[in-house]
Each structure stands twice: as C-alpha cells, then as structure tokens.
Amino acid sequence: FAARLSQQEADNIARKIGVVSVFVDPIYKLHTTRSWDFLQYQTDVVIDSNLSSNSDPLSHGTDTVIGIIDTGIWPESESFKDKEIGPIPSRWKGVCMEGHDFSATTCNRFHFSSLYVYFILDMKLIDIPRIIRLFILTESRCGRKLIGARYYNSSVSSKATIKIHEQSPRDTLGHGTHTASTAAGNSIAGASYYGLATGTAKGGSPGSRIAIYKVCTSDGCRGSAILAAFDDAIADGVEILSLSLGASAFMKPDFSSDPVAIGSFHAVDKGITVVCSAGNDGPTSGTVVNAAPWILTVAATTIDRDLESDVVLGGNKVVKVMFSISSHHIWKGSEPTQNPNIYVLFVLQGEAINFSNLQKSPIYPLIYAESAKKSSSSKDDSRNCNPSSMDGAKIKGKIVLCEHSDDSYSKTEKMKEVKKLGGIGLVLIDELEKAIAFPFGDFPMTVISSKEGAEILSYINSTRKPVATILPTVSVTEYKPAPTVAYFSSRGPSLQTRNLLKPDIAAPGVNILAAWTGANSTSETPPTGQKPSQFNLLSGTSMSCPHVSGIAAFIKSNNPNWTPAAIKSAIMTTATEANNEKTPLTTDAGLMATPYDYGAGEINPTGTLQPGLIYEINTNEYLQFLCNYGYKLSTIKLISNTSTEFDCPKESNTDLISELNYPSIAISKFDGKNIKNITRTVTNVGADDETIYTASVKSLKELEVKVVPQTLQFTKRNKKLSYQVIFSSSSAIAGDLFGSITWSNGMYKVKSPFVVTSEGK
C-alpha cells in the first residue's frame, strides 16, 4: 500500500512483524501506421503452412488482453471502437472505474446499445419484429474493445491540489492513448496528422482487448501507483503488460526498490509478459533502464518514412545543386549549370513538422543569428537564439539560421523568441536530433545537420544578399537506410549487471502515427483553419514499446500456453540485424550499431510466430539470478513471493549471471587467459517432431568461440536439449567483442547475440 508518512512513522511500520519493506515512493517519467507495414516488408520469412489461418501478425484473430500502464485513454477514439469483437473473455475480472467525465459504461458501449433497444421496445415506437432483428444484429456484430479502466491518486501534488481531470481514467495528455492504439488499435483508413503520414493506422494486435491503468499525470508517475496497477492488472487477468515509462538513467534504483522491477516480477510469475521501454537517455552508453531479466526491454529505431521540411537557398553564382530524397520530387527538372548568370537553387534537407505558408521560391532575407547579437549578449547565446540575446531590428522579416549547441532552451522557446522579434522562419542546426520531426505548427521552422548548417553559413558569408525559403513538410516513404537506431534510445550495457545483455530488442519509435486525446489541455496547436487532429506523430522508446507489446499479444494468442520467457525468446531469436539495404544496422548518425544499441536486432513480426527453438526460464532461475546479483534472501523477499523452500546457492556470484538461460549471452571481466564455458538449453517448438539443428558462429578473429555439440537432434516436439558455448582467446583482447550463435535446421534460424568484455573495461 501507499501512504504519506513521516520518517518516524515509516521506521515504526518497517519494524512491525509481517512488513517486508518500506521505501520512498519514486516518481518515474514517460518515455515519450506505417511502422507495421515497414516491419512486414523487412522480413523474408514465409508463413509456415502448418500455422493457423490467423497467423497474420496484423490480423484480427486474437483475443488477448493488453494492459497499458500509462496516462489513461481517450475512449471515443476510432482506434478503440468496438468492431466485430466477440464477448468479453470469461476469465476477465477487471472493472471500469467511474471518474471525472468517465462513466462505468464507457468501457461497455454494447451494454448501452442493449438498454437503448429495450427502451424503444417498451415505448412501442416501431414494430417489435424489426427491433428484435436490430438487437440480434447489434449483438452479433458488436463486441468490446476497452474492457477495463482504472486510475490512481498518483499526483505528486497534495490531495487538496489534485486536478479534477486526474480523478479519471480519461487521458488528457495523449501519451496513453497513443501507446494503447499502437499496441492494439483498430485499423483506421485515411488516418493522418493534418495530411501528413497519410495511410491506415493500426495496432500490432487489432483484435486484442485493452485495459487501461492510469498511473501518470503531468507531474510524473508515482511508484506507488505503478505497484498498485501491477497488483490490479494481475488480479484482473491481463496477459500482456506494456509500460512506456521508467526511472531516469542517471537515478536508477536498485531492483529491490524499483516499482517496475518488483511489479513485473510478480506479473511474470503469474504468466504475464511485461514489455518496457528502454529509456530516452541515449546515445550515452550505460543508460538503459527497465533492465531486469524478466522484463522485455525495447530500444527505438526509425522506419522508412521521413517527414522532411527542406531549406531552399538562392544566389547569383554557381553552386552545386543538392537533391535530397525529399527535394528531388520538387525540383525534378533542375540541372547543374556552368553559366554564372543563371539563377540556381540550393536545396538542403531538413526535418520538422511545419505547415509553412512561405513561397517555394527563395525570396526571403536570410541571416545568421550571431550577426544579430545584442551588444550585451555573448556570441554563444545569440548564435543559439537564446532569449534576449538578439537585436529585433536585425531579425525582423528574415529567416534566421540558429544553432542548438546550447540546449538550455528548448527548440520551441527558440522558435518563440525568433517569432517575437519578427522573424519569419527558423533553420535550427542540431546534429543530435536531426532525424526527429518536431512539430512547429504554422511557423516555418526546420532542423538540419551540422554539415548542412555549414553549407548554409558558407552561402551566407559568400553572398551579399542571401535569400532562402522553408518548404512545408512532406512525407517521404521508402527512405534508406532504415531502420536505424534512434539517437535518443538508451544504450547498454546495463550498469546493474554487465553479465546480462540489454536492451533485448528494437522496434519502430520515431515519428509514429497513432491515436490522440481529444482534450484541450494538450500543447498541440492545430494549423490555421483546422480542427485538432485525432492522431499525432510522436517519437521515443515509449512508441517502440507498444509495437512489441502488440506482437507479444499475437504470439500469446497463437500459443496460449507459452510462458513470458518463451514469448521473449521467440521475439529475440528471430530478430534481424540488417536494414532495407540488406546491410548491417547503423545508428541515425551513420555509425555502426551493436547489440548495446538494439539488443538482438529489429523485431520481425512474422518470424516470431515460428521461432523453431525457444529458451525457457522459470521463476526459480530468476530467483537464482537475484542471488548471483548479490542479494541476500531477506532482500530477495522484497521483490518476490519467495517460497520457504528456496535458498541461495552457496557458490552464488555475479559471474554466474551469464548462466541464466537467456536468449543472449553477456560475459564481463573476460581476460582471455581462462576459458569461459556457458550452458544454454533450448526447447523444440517447431513444426517437426524429428529435426536436426546445426550451429554456426559469427565472431571477431580475436575471439575463439566453439559450440558443443555442433548439432542438436530432436526426436519430438517440446523436447529440451542443452549445449555449451566455449569462449577463449590466444591473445590479449580489449573492449567489447560482439558476435552471434545461430542454430538452423534449414527451415528456422534461431540467433542469439553475445558480447564478451575484457577485464579492463
């Protein structure tokens, strides 16, 4: 339970018999269409003919319940309408809590229809046979999508100052609505964000039911509310839990005081798969959160759709005509010229969401912000367009080139400053966030890389009267390379234990279109003359997490007896490490990516349904992990419902964490002098009873990796066989060495990444 206590009261309660632990209530933060089509196109896997007819990962053939622990839901969204879904599963024990602007019948629109029909029957307004037919038709076609909704008094404010809209499952922030529709939203044709990213918006498991647990407000997410939500979700009967929230990478709690780690342990123990976002503190290494082994931890990647707002420069001298992917369709007829008198265009690719009304021709004066410096300001402040640093007389009527090397002020604050001074547009140089399309409404603003910024600055310095324009945003598809790992996605290794590879998997999390709240309290301002959009484009591991939750739900519907570990294994071992150019995954900065960035790789929705082999882990093995982590039994009881028979093995130590039967392998403190032997056990879940798998190894030459035995011969389904991986080196090694082990029988490929880290690291 949660309570407001003084330190003395907390100490007194902690000493009482039967009290396991008392700890401070932490405040966590949120980790804030075409993505599904892109994932489908990325795989070469062909569906096994022995699978059920409902084996399309985007079909409606699932009846699982996904619990979303987030900011609530906007139930009126088309993404959550009841469409051809049958009766609520009898196993469901959840409720719809009443609250502000949210009645108990909000989750039960079919019940509303029934009452309405009976009312007409009683009034005898029209003939009874017709009404009966209408009622039967309604009953056969309608079902229930949103079947549970709870909220918690999770505000960090005192009870007297809690806002009324917080006392309801209704989502006034939009985050929970967005994640819920990404995981299990209906298929909505013609969805867009004010005409951008137009297409069919759909969730990963459109046939799944949704249960909402509102634990977050604009103030954050209380740990006590998170724990209470886990408790309720377990009792309600959810099968998948999706959490797009977590601790800060720089204030990570230990497992024993982490509400997400504790709550998820109990959920997994009850057979519930828990999917969590990895965090948005990348690209710094060691920032991944939600890294407990029983959690499926998700990194974020881009998709092959880009939202581009280009900058067009003009001049009276020869310049190289630059064609970006987004600009070639605008200036298709342009050609380079050697005639110095011909007016040419210089097009540079930018990234933003703006609905610029500027002309497409570059006729607007262009200025570098530093040139408008106030005498009382520093050059650094002015070039960053920081408030009160620029002379308005020099800014008025111009497009401003500004840097974002100082992030003391947000992009929006810099935009407002330029707009206040009379500027008509802003080009912001931001190398880190150049791949993310931020919304700027009607104001012409775009974000470019430092390379393109240097091109514009060179143009300004070499031109007497530099001019430019900013084009409105356009959607570009089939963008290459994709996916790439997003800069913000938190990276491994997990600083809690380097003997466990985290994150586990990567999924789309950049510029994702999904349902949005209809509340007026959001900061989104619609373009002039338009109504607020029912959809929004957001980026974050918050968006990648529900992609995986939806796929996990579909796996569960096809394999109802599979454990959370089996579902995680199927997702990880079938992932891909290649992009749409069939080359290895990179970061959005163009650097080679590693499993510390993406885990096992980019999720493959089709492949997850036919993994061939799986790695199982039971609760006792997770308890042994906690022993090896260094916890005493008394501390382990803070996390789990430990049985009285369980005790930690005497030889427990952190090196043995590598022995957890995980779908990946991580070894720290490897000095190359001693051989390291790791054991894994796999279960045959493929189509054939009798089958032979052969191992292959991908590794750097500095590391010798041997698999014993090299073949596994199964004689029946669900049979378990073990193998050993022997790591050694004939010479000194340094740093992190990555590789993978793949088992294949000609039909299935079961890949496990590994990382071996030298002692000096």
Look up the domain containing 568 and give its range.
24-108+144-301+488-609
When pLDDT is averaged across residues 372-388 and rounded to a whole number, the result is 96
User: CA triplet 222, 182, 148: central angle to 5 degrees?
Assistant: 55
For residue 662, pLDDT beyond 90:
yes
State residue 564's pLDDT score.
99
Q: Please, are residues 294 and 265 in contact by the beta-carbon 8 Å criterion? A: yes
For residue 9, pLDDT beyond 60:
yes
State residue 493's pLDDT score.
97
State residue 340's pLDDT score.
39
Q: Do residues 443 and 519 both lie within one domain?
A: no
Q: Do residues 561 and 527 both lie within one domain?
A: yes
The band of 514, judged by pLDDT with boundaries at 50, 70 and 90, is very high
Q: Which residue has the higher pLDDT, 612 or 480?
A: 612
Residue 213 lies in a domain: yes
The band of 339, judged by pLDDT with boundaries at 50, 70 and 90, is very low
Q: Do residues 203 and 102 both lie within one domain?
A: yes
Q: Which residue has the higher pLDDT, 38 or 743?
A: 743
**17-31, 193-207, 370-384, 576-590: least confidently modelled range:** 17-31
**216-225, 324-333, 655-664: least confidently modelled range:** 324-333
Q: Which pLDDT tens digit goes with each residue over 574-609?
A: 999 999 999 999 999 999 999 999 999 999 998 999
Residues counted in the chain: 761
Q: Do residues 151 and 286 both lie within one domain?
A: yes
State residue 519's pLDDT score.
81
Sign, CA dihedral 324-329-331-335, equals: positive
State residue 50's pLDDT score.
45
State residue 550's pLDDT score.
96
For residue 154, pLDDT beyond 80:
no
CA distance 599 to 452: 32
Q: Do residues 603 and 636 both lie within one domain?
A: no
CA distance 394 to 426: 14
Strands (E), 23-145: 27-30, 65-70
Residue 5 lies in a domain: no
State residue 385's pLDDT score.
96
The band of 466, judged by pLDDT with boundaries at 50, 70 and 90, is very high
The band of 143, judged by pLDDT with boundaries at 50, 70 and 90, is very low
Q: Do residues 470 and 493 both lie within one domain?
A: no
71-103 burial by CB neighbour count: b if 16+ within 10 A, else e? bbbbbbbbbbbbeebeebeeebebebbebeebe
Residue 350 lies in a domain: yes
Q: Do residues 272 and 288 both lie within one domain?
A: yes
Q: Please, are residues 77 and 221 in contact by the beta-carbon 8 Å criterion? A: no
State residue 109's pLDDT score.
52
**49-63, 224-238, 612-626: least confidently modelled range:** 49-63
CATH code for position 632:
2.60.40.2310
CATH code for position 289:
3.40.50.200
State residue 153's pLDDT score.
77
State residue 132's pLDDT score.
35
Point out the domain boundary residue: 609, 633, 657. 609
Looking at this protein, which amino acid is placed at residue 438?
F
Q: Do residues 64 and 193 both lie within one domain?
A: yes
Residue 129 lies in a domain: no
Structure tokens at 757: 């880290």
Q: Do residues 674 and 747 both lie within one domain?
A: yes
Residue 200 lies in a domain: yes
For residue 160, pLDDT beyond 70:
no
Q: Which pLDDT tens digit goes with each residue over 275-288?
A: 999 999 999 999 99
Q: Which residue has the higher pLDDT, 320 or 383?
A: 383
**258-272, 380-394, 422-436, 560-574: least confidently modelled range:** 422-436
For residue 33, pLDDT beyond 50:
no
State residue 145's pLDDT score.
92
Q: Which pLDDT tens digit goes with each residue over 199-215?
A: 888 899 999 999 999 99
CATH code for position 395:
3.50.30.30
Sign, CA dihedral 660-665-671-677, equals: positive
261-275 burial by CB neighbour count: b if 16+ within 10 A, else e? bbbbbbbbbbebbbb
Residue 189 lies in a domain: yes
Helix (H, G, I), strand (E, B) or coil at 223: helix
Of residues 637, 636, 679, the one with CA closest to residue 658: 679
Residue 638 lies in a domain: yes
For residue 490, pLDDT beyond 50:
yes
Q: Do residues 467 and 504 both lie within one domain?
A: no
Q: Which pLDDT tens digit goes with each residue over 51-87?
A: 444 445 445 446 899 999 999 999 999 999 987 788 8
State residue 135's pLDDT score.
34
For residue 119, pLDDT beyond 60:
no
Point out the domain boundary residue: 428, 450, 476. 476
Q: What value does the mean pLDDT of the chain take?
A: 84
The band of 367, judged by pLDDT with boundaries at 50, 70 and 90, is very high
For residue 359, pLDDT beyond 50:
yes
The band of 137, judged by pLDDT with boundaries at 50, 70 and 90, is very low
Residue 113: which H helix or E strand, with range?
helix 109-123
599-628 burial by CB neighbour count: b if 16+ within 10 A, else e? bbbbbbbbbbbbbbbbbbbebebbbbbbbb
**86-95, 119-128, 135-144, 193-202: least confidently modelled range:** 119-128
Point out the domain boundary residue: 476, 510, 531. 476
State residue 333's pLDDT score.
28
When pLDDT is averaged across residues 84-97 and rounded to a whole number, the result is 89
State residue 384's pLDDT score.
96
Residues belonging to the active site? 70, 175, 542
For residue 169, pLDDT beyond 60:
yes
For residue 296, pLDDT beyond 70:
yes
State residue 1's pLDDT score.
58
CA distance 233 to 30: 19
The number of distinct structural domains making up the chain is 3
Phi, psi dihedrals of residue 193, rounded to the nearest 5° = -110, 90
**Largest CA-CA distance found in the chain, in angstroms, rounded:** 91
Q: Do residues 653 and 587 both lie within one domain?
A: no
Q: Name the range with the highest mean pLDDT among 145-154, 257-266, 434-443.
A: 257-266
**152-156, 251-255, 387-391: least confidently modelled range:** 152-156
Q: Do residues 545 and 636 both lie within one domain?
A: no
State residue 345's pLDDT score.
55
Residue 664 lies in a domain: yes
State residue 104's pLDDT score.
80
When pLDDT is averaged across residues 668-675 and rounded to a whole number, the result is 83
